[in-house]
Every structure is written in C-alpha cells, then in structure tokens.
Structure 1
C-alpha cells in the first residue's frame, strides 16, 4: 500500500510540483583526536529535536558530506568502534551554505558506550563565506525586542530602517527585496508566528544562482519542524496599563511525533508542528505627539447640526468651519484604527525511509483592520475604512537522497533531488464599516419626492387640419414645485445635512427646495452627494471614505532541484515555473445615484409634437397637450431594466423618480404619461448592479467600476476570456458584456551552479536564466494607438517621396496632416525622432506643421482602438551570471568577493486593461504600461574578515551596484491621438558604500553585533512616481541622478545581548545564606537585549516658496534636488527578560527527564521615546509648520476664509502631522511558557 501511495504521490508531484528552495549542507573530516589520522567509515548522524534528519559515513580519507539539510540548529553525532561517541550540540546551518565541521574522536578501551557532549561554537572565520549578509537563529531571535523576520533584517548592516520597518537594502528600492518562507516566494503577507521561526537568513550580496526575481536582498525564513518528543508552549503579551496603544497578543506552539520508529532513538516517522499568533491592537497607527481631534461635545454638535444659515437668505455654512481651539483636544492614541490578526503555520513530516522525506505544510493569515485616515481624524474617524485580508499557503515537498557507499571510489556521489508544489491564495476586501458590499447604501440618505406640474406657453399649432392660435401649448411635464424628503438611517450623519437644511429654511420652499438642484446649491445633500470638506483639510462628519472592492490572487509554483557531487565539484541545478492569477473588482458606489439619475428617462425628455392632444372646456379649445416622445435608440439599458423591475412596460412613457427610492420598503415612485404620481414595488429583492450595463458603469472612462478576472457584477470569472472578447462579446440581448480576464503573468527560470575548491580558493560559479511573460496584449506602437504606415509600406500613401538613406524600413512615417496628407515631415524609430531630412531631433513638436503631430494612418477616420493595434507581449529572457569566491589567507583572515547580475520582473504598473485603450480618448489619467521589462542590477563586492580575538572578528565590505531599467513615470510626447503619461524602464542609479562589522561572540556575559555603513545611493528616481510632478509641470522626463530618500550617509546597526547564566557559570550579584541553604543568585538566567538602528538624516528637496493644501502651487527649487537633509535619527529597542526553569519529570533509568521554563519579559520599543523627524515641509524644514500661516503673501487668502481664526486653529493642528514623526515608545509585558 505504501508503495502504491508513493507512486501516486510521485505522479502528482512530477506533474505539478516544485522543489524546496532552502537547503544546507554539512561537510568535514573525522580524525583521531591525538594522531589526527583520518577515521574511515565513521558514522555521522544529524538530529533535529531528537529526530534524525540526515546521516552518512566517512570515506577512506575520513571525509563526509551530508545534504540536503534543513537550515537551522542541529545536533551532530559521530560514532566509531573503539572511540567515544561525540555529540556536538547546536550546529548552525545556513540556507544555501556549507557548514564545515571537522570532528575529532577520542580513542577509548572501555566497552560501555560513553558520549562526549560539546556545544558547537560558530567559527569566526567561515571559509565558505561567498555571500554577504547574516544568519540569525531562533535562540537569538527569541531574546530580541522585535521577533519578526523584517525586524531581524533591520539589524544587518546595509539594511535601511527609518522607523522599525524593513526598508531599502543596500540602496535599492524597497520592492526589490524578495522574501521566502520555507522556500515559497511570498506574495501578500510575509509575517510568521513568532514562535515558529527557526532561522532568518539575510542575503545582501553574492546571491546564489537558485534565487532570482529580486534585484536587492533575499530574506529567507525557515520555520520549525516536528520533534521526537511532544512539546508545547504558550505566550501572553500585553501593553494594557503600560501605554495607551492597547496591544495584546496570544501565541502558541505545539510539536511532536504522531508515529515513532522502532529504533533506539524513537525517531519520529510521522511528526507535526503547529504555531500561531492572535493579536489585537487598539491603535494601529501610534504617534509620539498624539492626534488632534474635536471634543466629544463639539463633535456631537456638528454631527447633529452640521449647517447654519448663511445670513443672505440663501445657502448655508458648515458649522465645522467655525470650530475653535476650545473645541479641539489631543488624544494619545489614534481613534478607530484598531486591528486584529490571526496567524497560523504548521507542517507534517513523513519520513518513509532514511533517504526519502515528504513534508506537507501550510499557513493561514487573516487581518482585519480599520484604516488610518489623517483627513478623518478631526471629525469623521467613525467612518474609517475597513480592510480584510486573507492569505493562505499550502505545499507538498518530496526529497530523496542517494548518498552512495562510503567505500565507493566513484567520482559521482551524494545525488539528491527535491520536488515541491506550492499554492498561495491572497485575497481581501475593503469598504465602509456600515455598508460593506451593499453598494447602493453608500450614497443613499433618504426618499425624495419631487412634485411636478406641467408648464405651458402661448402659441399656435395645427391639429387634424384645424389651426389653433393664441392657445396654451404644453412645453414641459417636469416643472418641479416642491421636494419633500423622508430620511432613512442608512447614512444618518449625512442625512442630518439635509435635515438641517430643511430646518433652516422650513416653510419657505421657494428658492430653497423646489427641486434637487436648489437643495444642493444651498448646502443640503441628496442621494449621491458628499459633504463638503472642512476648509479642504478635514472630512466632515459622515463622509464616505472609500468605495467597495475586493481582490483575489493565486500563485502556482512548480520547481525541481537536484544536486550531485562530482569529485570536488558540488553541482546544483534546477528549474522553476510559476504563474500568478490576479483578479480584482472595485466600485465607486456613492456616485451611482448620480449615474442612475442621468441614465433614467433620458429617452423621453422630448415632447412628441406629432401627436398633440386637444383639450377643450365647454366646447372651447384652450390647451394642447403633447405626450412625451419615446426614442428607443437613446433609451439606456439601466432605464429599461429598472422599468422591468418596477413592472412597467419597458417602452412606456412613465417618468421615474430615482431619488424617490425607499430603501426600507423597496419602492420607487413614477409619474405616468398623464402626470399622475404612483408608487411601485420592485420585483427584485433590492437594487442590483446588474441593472446597469458595463458600458454605463465605464461611463466613457469616467468610470464607476474597474475589474479584471471578475465580471462587472462582482462574480469571479470561471473561464478566461480573450482580449478580443472585451470588444466583441455580447449577451442574448445584444448588450456588450465587456469581459476582462485576470492578469496571468508567467515566470520561468533555470539555473546551474558549481561550488568547488581550487587550491585555497572556494568558488561559487553559476548562471541563471529567467523568462518573464506578461501574458497580455500590448500596443504594436506605444506612440500610435491606431494602425499606421511604416517606410516599407510607403507605396500606400497618396503621394510619392524619397526617404533618407539612414531611415529604415520599419520607421514610422509622419505627415503634415492625418486626414489629407500631402507630404512627409518626419520619421520615428521607437523613441528616436527624425525630421524629413533624416536628422535626429529631440522635440517631436517640430513635426507639427499646424495640424498636430500626424502619423500616416491606415484609416484616418478611426477614432476607437481596434484589435489590429495590439500584439502579444514579447517574453523577456535574461541571462544572469553569478560568480563569487572566498580565499582564506590564514586561519585568522579571509578575503571574499562576488559579481552578480540580478533581474526582477515588473512589480507594479504593468497590468493594463483593454478598457484603458478603449476609453483612451476620454480620460486624462496616468495609465499603466503593459510592455514593461524586468529591472536589472549589476552588483560587485569585495570583502575581508579578520579575527581580532579568540571570540571576535571584524569584517570590511566594499560594494558597488548599477541599477538599470527601473520603472519611472514617463510622458509619451508626440503620441497620437494625444500625449499621455504612463511608465517606462528609464530609471537608472548607482549605489556604492563600505560596511564595517564587528562580531563579538558571547564573552562572559556579552554578545555583540555591530555594523557601520557608509553609503552613497543616487538614482534618477526613488519610486515609479518621482517624475510625476515634474511632468505635470510640463518639464521633460527626468534623466539626472540625485540622492534617493533612503540615502543615509552614515548608518549604524547594533545588537547587544548581556546575560547572566546560572549554576557554576553565574557571575552576578549573589547573597550567601546560612544553614547550608543554596545562595540566592539574583540575576541568574536574566538578561537584556537592545538594538540600536539609526544614522544620519535622509535627503529632501527644499523649496524657496510656500505652498500648502489651500494655496496649491508648485515648489520652486531651493539649492539642488534632494540637496537638504533631515536631522540624525536613532531608535533604541530593548527587551529585559528572565528564564525560570522547572523539572516536569526527573531523569530515571530508561527515560529522559522533562524540563519546562517560564520566560518573563518587558519589551520596550523606542526606549527613549525619541521623536525622530522623518518628514518635513520643504520651505521651513520643520515637521510641524509649513510656513503658510505666517507667510505675508497668503494673509489675504487666510483672512478671506469663512472664519479666519477657526481656519488658523484648524490649520495649525492639520500641519503638525503625526506622520512626520517616528513611532512613540511602546511598552509590553509578556509571559512565555514552554515545555
């Protein structure tokens, strides 16, 4: 049965699986302790938590190699007849590293087995050091103030952190770093339960060939696995009563065997591990200066009475614009920004034989949070958007080793392969806390009844051959005389604006509420309206902060790796296939009521003058009525569907009042053809988005919707439509359904790497080949939306011309005018422009001779994009050599260097919907570019490590990076039919620096890691939107390099752990006691760990003029771009803890003892409560004042505000933005119990 099971698993794995991407190796020599002679055929066993995870025998020369092994800490046991068994505990294995471990065995004549137990000490000089970075083990992480992978990464020299976050790695953009958890490339959430982390490997340079799709660092997280014995732990952590931010966490872990083997070690054949964190934080955005908001009384006042009369007889003012400083308060914690999350991870390990292993594992993460919104902090925090995210992963790993016989003389040894399939689901939703996915509730405030009367004018007409003169002719059915309103509790705060308006002008409908327009002009609100902002700074109470949307992303991974030793060459090779399926749908629901109003009755707005109705009174004709004219061609689909839902004829002349919808009763009012008001109950449960057509929701580019992989009603597509379906697909009624498929990029890679020694040199030489296919349609020509002629097709033009010799056949022809071309004015080859003589020009506007820049179009009358304008994305193939080596100068010094080429697929702004091009002429928004290429980094490094003492070493590293093809906002000047802004691979930059690291292994009580980095990071852009403001101001695309925002010239990363041991190794304060009682060791198993991260200030661009959210304007450069610096920034975090041990079971014959421990700790983040300045205003250079209120040139504008004093008070609070400062001090107390 087991054989059949393995065959089935093997078939599944080989048809859809990938390999575990984290491997370690153990290599060394077994020798006699006294004679140093090699010991052949010695048995070496590797154990993890008591379970054997690897083993081999030494060869004739005493050499051994064990791989693959899981990164982390293991115990190594060596045995041989006539020698004492040696157990080396705590051997650290790094991901993609070889741990060299020579073992000396002591000869013995005793027949009883004796075991020599020693603790492993990580060597100061690692001769396999061909990659730069750091490995941090679970034991070290457990004592750190912050215990997540990103926080661990910030302690490594060269990793930038401004406020505890993991930022740029060696000057690259933050999205250039890749995170792996148990070999799975992470999309979405990258957090791991704290008790589940076995080891974190941070790779800064010398990236092994097996890693790709990253141009900066690699963060490798290895989680814990099963154990031979059952164990568990629980952790409680809280900040209640210690700080105002309300942090609480419960963590747990449990592990053990499910089936044990029958050997003497009871090795686990089937084991499991499970860990989780559940946390809640009241304040999701802590600040050291607190938050300015209204007092409870003031807030209640402007919620219940948001308006006041203007005093002019019409209109109203916002009461929020009369708030003064007495109405404001400062709160220490942000309001309604709480978050809670559930994070679980686990695995089951099946060890069928000593060389075959199967692991099944996965993780689950759920996060619910109220999003912080600075504009809402004053009076609208109750409406903060809710965001839910769910991320789960599952994987199956299969590996098999063929270690070969230690007696074999074959050149081929230690072959293994590993296969893994993993799947990741990352999905989420966001929306209003009260409405969520009920999108028609967002803009709804109540039922408006408009009372209409027909209007007439004196005139003449002929009816049935009879001429009538000077009689009343109907000219409209729709004259509004009164609007009554019945509020609903759907949006009660927004409804108060209209309630207040009706109260202010109650009893005086003339000029105030005869129609909806009067209500809106006077300051009241109708369905689909949004309250006016308070001085354009803060949201008024009740404002909907967002729409509703959801995303659903999948990642499928298949990878196969193998390794083989050929003599002294360790060959690694592998292949990977990955596909992502990204889907989303977003709605702008508040405005749907405005759209409904515009789509309804549009086809019956005119009068049918051909069918008059004569009205007589006492035989005298004094009036002629005209019915509404039905125009089937202009009837909107929404109108038709709504009539059907109301039970009305779809071709009827009934006039529907959409604002009369009663959400409580699902009714709506309408006027029949005779002008009589009726009420109808919808025959559907509620209003539905399916009442609209997709085209109506796209609204010619001013869209209320955006989707991909979902249909417009919010249902995920079961099949992938083609690109052309968007333009052609219809339903049974002929309505264009506009299906848009999910974004499905494909990433493939293969690599081979050889590690070998040549004399004293250790080389890692490899090559990686990546293939990226965006798997979507792109424009044939990014400058011309429609088919155009090239030089090779010039015979199709209506005139003859001669091309210059340097103009190629694929160059695009430009003519004097599109409609009636008579001459050629220039050419273009991709991004290079030429005039008619073939001379290169910089400004394409030179080709404009009065009719705009005009390409020679195949169809000059075309005004909408067609399928002929597109082609498939050309897959990008990148070859990346990786060369690194190390050279031990002596036992106390090591020289190392590397050369890497790294590429990364576009991480953003790549997916482009066909709707983008279909509505291209109607929008002015910046659009994505589907034709983006991977970014590229060329990395050089030289390093030197020197042992300073028996327990410390120093390392100096010099690095240089060239970053190419980075994404940047780009203006396609000269594009047809209009210029547009998108993105392009035009950014470049360089980073160079030196890192000095000091590593002090525990010496008595102290363990220290310290790094100093001197770095220069310059680029043409810090992000994809750096050039956006320049382009908006009409300036050319940015091409000069400047310091990047994370260009910290001097960076310090320090981790210090000071700890007292227990027993005979204790050296702390002690109180001796009488009567033979044991002394009191006050600080036994007690210690503290602190991290210091900081350095010099980062750059910003100073301005010589004052701008503000009120005044607007463009900053005028003062000095040079990024030429000013913020103050120095430092952050201290500390953890103080004590371990208390308990004996659960004393050891006795045949049974091991069991021990438990309780860890009590205080964790203090930002110990000194330093208010580091992380943002300033460009004119003043201060974080709390932009200079606007005191600027002479703006005093008139300030004094013209509704209430100048109120404006000054509110603006002063607004400009002192908490986001300009680092996080405050946070204090947490915790208990951790493990056994």
Structure 2
C-alpha cells in the first residue's frame, strides 16, 4: 500500500506539476469566502516637528491597496477585507516603518496615526513595530529566519542542529541535505564569507555553537544573486556585544557521576561560557562578545579507545579526553566609527577530535549513507583512525552609509582548515618495517571445529573484528587557506520602488592534499641479516598535490516593488581558474593528460593575469504578487553551480608523484562545474496575525555531475579512473509550513515535505562500474538516489506559562517547555530476493541489482523534550535548572539497513548470503558481523543542566 502511494505521488509530481497553481487557488478559496470589508485611516507626521508629511505612501503588505497622504498629512484606505495586516509607510528622506498585526474589522474604521523619523546617518533601513510576522508576505524566497531568542528555547548545540529542524532539511549519517541535494551542495556563510571546507566534503568548515548566533537564515529556494549554493544557503550572523555587560554560562551532563556509561547516559558533558558588552572607556562605541563552548562524549556505542591521540595538537590529553570532542571559541568586536559607519571583526576557532570516519568525506568516493563507527576496530580502537579537524575563520566587516540611498558592505575573510587522519596519532610510518601492520581477524583460542567427525573438518574463523594488532590503513592530511574579498553596494531609489544590489566576491585558495593508503608500504624492510630492502612507493596508493586556484563572481540584481508586486531580476557571472598547477600539467608532455583534454582546455579558457580562466552566467528570477488579501503567490527560477571537488581536477597530474596502484585516480583540469536549474512555485497565506501557512512545489535539474571512466595510457600499465562531466539528477517535491501563535505564551510550528530524488548514480566510482557494466557512458536509465527520503514531517511546541498557570496543583510560573518531534522515511536500499537454501539450511538471498535503491527502510521517529525552570533575582539576572530528554520513547531508528528485512539487524534475521551470519557459523564466513551498534541511531538520552545569566 505504501509503495503504491509513493508511486502515485511520484507520477503526480512528474506529470501534473503544472496543475499546482490551480491547487493553490483552491486551498485559498475558504479564506477568500470569509473576507469582509473595513477602512484604515490616520495621519503621517514628522516625529520631531509634528509637521504633516505630504505625499507619504501607505501600503498594506500582501494586497494591492495603498494610499498617499494629502496636504494635511491625512490618508484613508477603504474596502479592506477583514483580517490582520502589515502596514508599510515610506517617505523620501525618512526611515521606512512597518506596523505588524494591524487588525481590520468589518464595517469599522481602524485609526493608525504614524510618526516617521528623518533618515540620518544610520544603517537601519526599516523600523518595525509589533511582533514578528508568522509569515513574510513581502519576500518571494523560501526562507526561514531564526533569531537568538528562538534558538534559546531549542535543544540544539550548533548551527547544524538549528538548520536540521527546518522544512526541506534532512539530517542523515552523511550530514545535512537540503531538498534532496548532496551534503556538499549547501553554501555556508558566516558574517558574509564562506565557512565551508572545500576538501572535507562535510559542509561546515568551522563549528559555530548555537549560543554564538545572533540570527540565522535558511534559504532553500529563490536565493539572491550574491549567493551560489546549488542546494541551499545557510547564512549565519555572529552575536555582538550590547550596551551593558552580560555574562552567560551553561553546563549539561547526562550522568550524576555513578552512571557514566549506563542506561540513558554515555559520559557526555556540554558547557558554554559567554561574555559580552561594551569595552570600558570607549563610550560604548567598542563592544565585544566572546564565548567558549565544549562538547565531550563517549557516544552511545559503548566502545572507547584508551586515549585518542592527535599528531597535530600539542596536548591530546587536554583536547581529546573522550571519543567525541568538540571545542569552539568565538570572538567578535564591533566599533561604531560614526553614525552610519561601522566596523567589526569576527574570529571563529574550532577543534574536533574523534574517530568518526564521516569527518572526511571525499566527495564521490565515500560510502553513501553509512555511520562513521569503525566497527572492525571495536576490540582495539587505539589502533583505529583518529580524525583531527582544526579551523579558524577571521572576518573583517565594514559598513558605510554613503548617502540616504546608497550603502556599502565590505567583508575581508580568511578561512584556514586542517584535517589530519592517522592511526591514532602514530607517525606517517616507521623508518623500517619488520612486522605486519594490516589489520585482520585471525582465529584465536578457543578453536571451534566445523563439521567434526567427517572425513574433512574445518576451523571456524573469528568474529571478523580485527585482533592481530594491525593499525588503520588511512593516512590523510590536508589544509585550506582561503582568502576572500567581498564588497556589495545597496541602492534604494528615492521612491522606494527599486532596491538594487551589485558587487563582487573573489576567493584565492591555497590547497594542499596528501592521501595515502597503507603508508608503511614503501618503507625499507630490515632483514634478519641486517640488510635492507628499499622501495620508492608511497603506500599502496597515494594522491599528493599542492594547488592555488582562484574563483569568484560579479553579481547584480534589482528588486522592483510596485503596488504589491515584487519582481527580482538578477544574475551572477561566476569565474574560476584551476591555477598554475593545472596550467603547467596541460603544457607538460610528461603529465598524464589526454591530448583531447589539452586541446579543449586551451580552447575553452581565457588567459588573464598569468592564469587560464573559465566563466559561467547564472540568471535568477523571483516574482511574488497577491492573489487576495494576505495570500501571496510566488515563483522562483534560478541557475547555480558548484565547482567539482579538487581531487577530481588535480589527482595524479604531477609526474613526480603519480600513483602506480591498480586503479589510481587521474584528474581532469578541464572539468566544468556541477550545475543546478531550479524552479519553485508557492503561496504564502497569513490567515490571522498569529497563523500563517506556506505551501510550495519545487523542481530541480542537476547536470554535469562527475563520472569516472577507466583509461590506460601507452607505456603505462596502470589503469586510471578519469573524471568527466556526465551524470545528472532531478529532484521534485512539495512542502507545507504552518506557524501558529496560540497566544503570547504558546507557539507551534509544523512542516511537512515530500520529495523524489532520482539520477544516474550516487558517486563517481559507482558511475564507473555502471559504465563498465553497460559498455557505454550514454545510458539514460535513472535510479532512486541513496539519500532520497520521500517523507519528512517535523513539529515543535514552545510553551512559556503565565504567572497564573497551574498544572495538577503545581504553579508553572518560571517554567519553560520545548517539545519537538520528527518523522521521516527510512534510508533507501537495494532489495534482495530469495534464491533457495544451501547445504547448511541457510536461506540464500541475492541482490536485485536491476532495481537499485528502490526500497525504503523502516521509518525514523523521535521526539525531544526540554523543561527549564528559571529562578529570577531581578529583571536580567537568573539561574535556571533544566532537564532535556532526547528520543523520549527510545525509538530504534535504523541507519544500517539489512536489505533482506528493510530494518536493522536483530539476532536470527535472514541476511544477504555474502554477509557473515552469526546463526549459521561457516568456515567461508567473511567480513564484519552484522551487530554493529551504529546500526541504530542514538537511544534515549537524559541531560541535566544548570545555567546562569547576569
């Protein structure tokens, strides 16, 4: 039944999306039928002189209705349907003003007298009166804005946690995915500059704690021309200090000392200390904010190393006392030079140390949708891979009001990241090798004999977990030094009908990559007689390069507003240069570059400033207009692009460091970016001042994804995995978002999404196997993508009782409650079919490779609750106690799917015949056992907290 419904929805989305407009109109019909008429009138005056303003414009947002003041400053707008509205008031030379929640009543006149302030040298373009609207009727974007006050009520630790709660965002073992896109496709911006590690492939390049965020915007559709994320945009603004000194602290832990690794506790501590305010003796012009955040946990797997060691940190004992260690420090200084002129400096530093293999996701090569526990080393985690990720983001921002209609924003940033992966802090390799380093599972006592009493007996193998003292085969080190210059001009036309933005963003990168498998291979071997056997190889395979590419873009857009209609027309000219390393490889006859690639590279690039450049134009269009009062229809169309992971461009191009492994990687300097073309149609409805609904349909076409082909060169016996632009995908979906303020004490949100993501392959490596199997690169067959999660439903409730609230005789004064729940489709998998029994009686199942990822595993569901009790000692001083319960009902959500059952493995379940089965011990068993504790997401966890503020 479920599959039939999914097929129906998929067909509807594919064939009947053009009927969506009519569906939106029908949904709004009940609201239109209830509308009645009223009048809005009043005066507009200068706030200082009280003189009437002649010709001031009063406009009702979400409608076509408006008026201008007469010679006495009076205005009147008639025939307004009953409801709650936002009223916008503007006048040349004065600050624009928004009045939220103005109620118009049937057959009555609502009086609204307005005073405007003359626009001085201030950067604030709009003054807002009243509560924040539950839906933004002026914006044609699919965007959610979250303030620090909203974040304070949530049970989140960092920006990723906040984003994961929003519509269209799915959190998986890989990371955050927006509207069916891949993890690396989301653009992360902090204080105006890029904050993404371009080499790790995990999204964020720096850890930003939720307590350091002033406000956050999650843009899933209709982004401005200054941004260029193919999936979504996450824009974060760091907090600034206020006019008064404020100190805040928070500490949470999941145990009371005696139960560190029992029940709902796994030795977790989370702490934060933040201080902000004016710097003394600066007349409150110089303000600061700083915070230190620590998150330490031994994780729910119940598997720990004796000590995680990092080879790039000075004191591993301090920075990595547990299995998962997160440290971050934030500093922000802001100085008001003069009215309308401001400068600020932000520094965001973070350190992560763990053994989670998802810390490094080489895009296109990593396992899809798999948790990062290195289960093979379960009995010897001291020998597993330890990952250390350091990052430092520094941003200098300057804002200047040039005149009443023109502002300038400048951001200069430096992002430095360094990721090291090694065998728990061990050196790259010893000077000489005299023992086996490869990890393996060997038979140990007690030895169990299989088929005893027969003519031939066998010894059963071990459990599959490494036990020979071998160490991790991974050694990786990369760093990124990215310098960014971004400037942007904002122009407001005197009549406030045009808002023009134009500017440039330029990035110069210094990237170094060293990736080696089994690094000890190639080290000298010392023989018993004291002689040495030397080798020149660097591991069994290696990829080494140091490059300095550049990229950027010029952008311009004009937002035109006229009588309720908003149209945004923009474009971005994106340019990039692979750098001197690629240019030299193309010119070097000894480099392994196809002649056709050499020719195309020179034809399709333009030489400028000593480098060869490419460019692409990315148009954008956004339109919104009222269909009835407080019901706005919007449409978005846009192109965006993402440069391929540098490994696809530079691997193996240096003749000195070419890998000679069986199937080594070979870069393609002429690769083009991956491109997305997106379409979006939706409606925003403000039913009342406290109830808003947004309904959206979206469609995205992706093309020029990376595909690997296998090549051989004359005189070179090594087969090469060569990258080209070939793959494509398409994503379509529906979203609905509801925001409801029941009263000032109770707020509720609900959002639901349905999407379908299909394409030719999930990774470049998978595409190579498909090409070899089909014998052609031109196959057009699509499959479900591994990260496609059709249904995603989220809801949250924030309740702050008033002073008179009582629950079963208990006064609720001072309490705060936050409840959230999430339901989403399980992970996709390729199904297995029954193929008989073997001689041991074990059922055989084989993969249906012609139907990849066609089935969906058991659904995920969890709910979280946070209860806080404030004890106040003044208007701004308080101490709070909290209890946070994550996964209240202890749901077992499967993140490693048994393709026979569609859920996580339980003892006795049938397994694929190629997988080790504990029920049927067999001498031919191989691989890891199916009992990986990471096959389920985290169980229930209870955190106890204390916080203070003064």
Cα distance in 1 for partners of 2:783, 2:555 equals: 35
Q: In 2 relative to 1, CA 1046–272 (structure 1 residues): closer, same or farther, beyond 3 Å?
A: same
Q: Encode CA deviations 1:679-731: one digit per residue, 9 max, x unaligned.
A: xxxxxxxxxxxxx8xxx5336xx6576533xxxxxxxxxxxxxxxxxxxxxxx
Post-superposition Cα deviations, 1:641-668, rounded to whole Å, max 9, x if no partner, equal xxxxxxxxxxxxxx84349xxxxxxxxx
Q: After alignment, is 352-361 or 1178-1187 more displaced?
A: 1178-1187
Partner of 1:400: 400
* Partner SS, residue 351 of structure 2: strand
Pairing of 1:296-375 with structure 2 (within 5 A): 338-371=323-356, 373-375=373-375
Aligned with 1:886 (options 617, 624, 629): 624
Aligned position for 2:265:
244
Contact 1:904 1:936 in 2 (8 A): yes
- Partner residue of 2:536 out of 660, 677, 697: 697
Mapped pair 1:270 → 2:286: yes
Post-superposition Cα deviations, 1:1184-1215, rounded to whole Å, max 9, x if no partner, equal 27999888x889x999xxx995969x979811
Against the structure 1 CA distance between its residues 362 and 378, is the aligned structure 2 distance closer, same or farther, given a 3 Å change threshold?
A: closer
The 1:1089–1:1120 alpha-carbon spacing in structure 2 relative to 1, beyond 3 Å, is same
Within 1, Cα distance between the matches of 2:243 and 2:903?
A: 59
Residues 378, 585 of structure 1: CA spacing in aligned structure 2 closer, same or farther, 3 A cutoff? closer
Question: If you compute each CA radius of gyration, which structure gives the higher value, 1 or 2?
Answer: 1
Structure 2: gaps (5+ residues): 1-38, 60-72, 74-86, 88-94, 101-111, 116-126, 198-204, 307-319, 357-371, 446-459, 602-609, 837-841
Query: What displacement does 1:169 show?
Result: 0.9
* Cross-structure match for 1:36: 42
Q: What SS does the corresponding residue of 1:36 show, helix, strand or coil?
A: strand
Q: Distance in 1 between matches of 2:907 and 2:771?
A: 24
Shift of 1:928: 3.6
1:957-968 matches, within 5 Å, as 957-968=696-707
Question: d(CA) in 2 for partners of 1:342 and 1:914?
Answer: 37
**d(CA) in 1 for partners of 2:909, 2:271:** 47
Q: Which residue is 1:577 aligned to?
A: 506
Distance 1:194 1:788 in 2: 48
Normalised by the length of structure 2, the TM-score is 0.73
Q: Post-superposition shift, 1:376?
A: 3.7
Q: Does the 8 Å contact 1:1061/1:1086 carry over to 2?
A: no
Decide whether aligned partners of structure 1 residues 1098 and 587 sit closer, same or farther in structure 2, where only a CA change above 3 A counts: closer
Structure 1 partner of 2:896: 1175
Whether 1:707 aligns to 2:512 is no
Over residues 8-28 of structure 1, what are the superposed CA-to-partner deviations in whole Å (9 max), with x where a residue is unaligned? xxxxxxxxxxxxxxxxxxxxx
CA distance in 2, matches of 1:143, 1:370: 31
Post-superposition CA distance 1:847-891 (Å, at most 9, x none): xxxxxxxxxxxxxxxxxxxxxxxxx98533111111112212344
Cα gap change, 1:226 to 1:878, in 2 (>3 Å): same
| SS in structure 2 of the partner of residue 101 of structure 1 | strand
Matches within 5 A, 1:1042-1057: 1042-1057=783-798
Q: Contact (CA 8 Å) 2:861, 2:891: kept in 1 or not?
A: yes
Change (3 A) 1:1105 1:582: farther
Q: CA deviation at 1:218?
A: 0.4
Count of aligned pairs = 785
Give 1:416's match in structure 2, choosing from 407, 417, 440: 407
Unaligned runs of 5+ in 1: 1-32, 45-56, 66-81, 83-90, 92-97, 108-116, 263-267, 297-334, 405-413, 447-490, 502-532, 601-654, 660-691, 709-741, 791-809, 813-828, 831-871, 1072-1080, 1144-1153
1:764 equivalenced with 2:568 (yes/no): yes
Higher alpha-carbon deviation: 143-152 or 997-1006: 997-1006
Deviations 1:381-423 (A, max 9, x none): 232333322111212222211343xxxxxxxxx2111222111
Structure 2 CA distance for aligned equivalents of residues 782 and 1130 of structure 1: 56
| Residue in structure 2 matched with residue 855 of structure 1 by the alignment | none
SS at match of 1:992: strand
**Could you tell me how far apart the structure 1 residues matched to 2:470 and 2:477 are?**
21
Q: Kindly report which structure 2 residues correspond to 1:79-228, keeping only aligned pairs within 5 A, or say none.
A: 101-102=98-99, 120-162=130-172, 166-188=175-197, 189-212=205-228, 214-228=229-243
Where does 1:557-572 land on structure 2 (aligned, <5 Å)? 557-567=484-494, 568-572=497-501
For residue 986 of structure 1, what is the aligned residue in structure 2?
726
Question: Is the Cα–Cα contact under 8 Å of residues 197 and 224 in structure 1 kept in the other structure?
Answer: yes
Deviation string for 1:319-367 (max 9, x for gaps)? xxxxxxxxxxxxxxxx996122321111111112112111122111122
CA contact 1:443–1:589 (8 Å) conserved in 2: no
Cα distance in 1 between the residues matched to 2:593 and 2:222: 47
Of 564-573 and 746-755, deviating more is: 564-573
Partner of 1:256: 277
Shift of 1:1094: 2.2
Q: Deviations over 1:222-268 (max 9, x none)?
A: 11101111111111110124733111022011011114676xxxxx2
Pick closer, same or farther for the CA change 1:1135–1:969 going to 2, 3 Å.
farther
2:469 to 512, 521, 542: 542
Following superposition, the deviation at residue 537 of structure 1 comes to 2.5
Distance 1:417 1:1194 in 2: 63
Q: CA deviation at 1:892?
A: 2.1
Offset, 1:584: 3.5
Gap change, CA 1:1019 and 1:916, over 3 Å in 2: farther
In structure 1, the residue matched to 2:244 is: 229
Cα distance 1:706–1:1227, how it changes in 2: closer, same or farther (>3 A)?
same
Partner of residue 436, structure 1 = 426
What is the match of residue 1146 of structure 1?
A: none
Note the C-alpha offset of 1:1059.
2.6
Cα distance in structure 1, aligned partners of 2:131 and 2:461: 64
Distance in 2 (alpha carbons) for counterparts of 1:786 and 1:1118: 34
Q: How far off its partner does 1:1106 sit?
A: 8.1
1:934 counterpart (673, 680, 698)? 673
- Deviation digits for residues 1079-1120 of structure 1 (CA, Å, limit 9, x no counterpart): xx721132321222222334321133789xxx9x99642662
Aligned-pair CA distance for 1:995: 1.0
Q: 1:281-303 CA deviation, whole Å, 9 max, x = no partner?
A: 122xx34xx67x99x9xxxxxxx
User: Structure 1 pair 586/159, CA: closer, same or farther in 2 (3 Å)?
Assistant: closer
SS at match of 1:420: strand
User: Of the candidates 867, 885, 890, which is equivalent to residue 1164 of structure 1?
Assistant: 885
Report the equivalent of 2:821. 1092
C-alpha RMSD of matched pairs (Å): 4.7
Distance 2:708 2:588 in 1: 14
Q: Paired residue for 1:1133?
A: 864
CA distance in 1, matches of 2:930, 2:417: 37
1:898 to 1:1182, Cα distance in 2 relative to 1, 3 A: closer
The structure that is strand-richer by fraction is 2
State whether residues 900 and 911 of structure 2, in contact with CA within 8 Å, keep that contact through their aligned partners in structure 1: no
Distance in 2 of aligned mates of 1:1088 and 1:345: 28
Which whole-Å CA distance do the structure 2 matches of 1:440 and 1:58 have between them? 84
Name the residue aligned to 1:1228: 943
In structure 2, the residue matched to 1:627 is none
State the alpha-carbon separation in 1 of the partners of residues 660 and 928 from structure 2.
42
Distance 2:433 2:713 in 1: 41
Distance 1:178 1:581 in 2: 19
For residues 780 and 1174 of structure 1, the distance between their equivalents in structure 2, rounded to whole angstroms, comes to: 44
1:931 to 1:99, Cα distance in 2 relative to 1, 3 A: farther
Distance change >3 Å, CA 534–CA 743, structure 1 → 2: farther
Alignment of 1:754-833 (within 5 A): 754-775=558-579, 776-777=581-582
User: Do the aligned partners of residues 558 and 773 (structure 1) sit closer, same or farther apart at CA in structure 2, a change above 3 Å counting?
Assistant: same
CA contact (8 A) 2:42 2:113 kept: no
Counterparts of 2:143 and 2:507, CA distance in 1:
27
Which residue of 2 is the match for residue 851 of structure 1? none
Bigger Cα displacement from structure 2, 372-381 vs 1036-1045: 372-381
Q: C-alpha distance in 2, partners of 1:892/1:1198?
A: 60
Of 831, 848, 851, 1:1102 maps to 831
TM-score, reference length from structure 1 = 0.57
Q: Does the 8 Å CA contact 1:40/1:61 hold for their aligned counterparts? A: no
Secondary structure (helix, strand or coil) at the match of 1:38 reads strand
Query: After superposition, what is the alpha-carbon deviation per residue over 1:426-476, rounded to whole angstroms, capped at 9, x for unaligned?
Result: 11333334x623731795569xxxxxxxxxxxxxxxxxxxxxxxxxxxxxx
1:771 Cα deviation from its structure 2 partner: 0.4
Secondary structure of the 1:931 match is coil
1:924 aligns with one of 643, 663, 671? 663
Give how far 1:767 is off.
0.8
